[in-house]
Amino acid sequence: METTQPHPAAPPNLSFDETLAYLAAENTAAFASLPVFEDNPEEASGARVLVLFRDRDGIKLHYAAGPLFMHAFFEDEIIPLADIPEKAMALRYIPTIYQAEFFNTNLQNAIQSLLKGARTLMGDDDDAPPQKKIIPLHPV
């Protein structure tokens, strides 16, 4: 039986409270991504992406949900810290680099940009393991 070992420079998964402590500095961020499975339990058709970030006005949550490969979101909103739902507090977050522009195309590109930001923070841009190519269910 083959076991999968985590990549040695994989970013830590932080609890919500650990993430809030990490976000003590301005211009910091951490994200979580949840796949959405509809018809085929083997292949994600969409995602929910949550990015906790801090700007000069405090900590906020950028929440986006929708299909992976279309520039169409079911939801795309910025939520202040006081209004963050409990479900978001139960997730684990990965430190990353965040720019609102990541969400100008589609969720797949946003997730890839957030993962690249996480690898950059870990100083591991060049040694990233090869990513599995995801083929869209419904090409645009």
| Residue 140 is assigned to a structural domain of this protein | no
Look at 130 and 33; give whichever has higher pLDDT.
Answer: 33
Percentages (nearest 5) of helix, strand, coil residues in the chain: 25, 30, 50
Whether residue 33 is predicted with pLDDT greater than 70 in this model: the reply is: yes
| Residue 93 is assigned to a structural domain of this protein | yes
User: Which 3 state secondary structure label does DSSP give 108?
Assistant: helix
Whether residue 34 is predicted with pLDDT greater than 80 in this model: the reply is: yes
| Residue 2 is assigned to a structural domain of this protein | no
Split into its structural domains, the chain has a count of 1
Upper half-sphere CA count for residue 97 (Cβ side, 13 Å): 12
| Residue 136 is assigned to a structural domain of this protein | no
Indicate the pTM of the whole model.
0.78
DSSP state of 119: H
Stretch 112-140: mean pLDDT, rounded?
A: 68
pLDDT tens digits along 36-83: 887 777 777 788 999 999 988 899 999 999 888 777 778 899 999 999
| Residue 130 is assigned to a structural domain of this protein | no
pLDDT over 90, % of the chain = 49
Look at 122 and 78; give whichever has higher pLDDT.
Answer: 78
Q: Are 93 and 115 in contact (CB under 8 A)?
A: no
| Residue 107 is assigned to a structural domain of this protein | yes
Whether residue 7 is predicted with pLDDT greater than 70 in this model: the reply is: no
Q: Could you tell me the residue range of the domain that residue 70 belongs to?
A: 16-121
The enclosing H or E element of 63 equals: strand 58-67
What pLDDT does 8 receive?
44
| Residue 7 is assigned to a structural domain of this protein | no
| Residue 129 is assigned to a structural domain of this protein | no
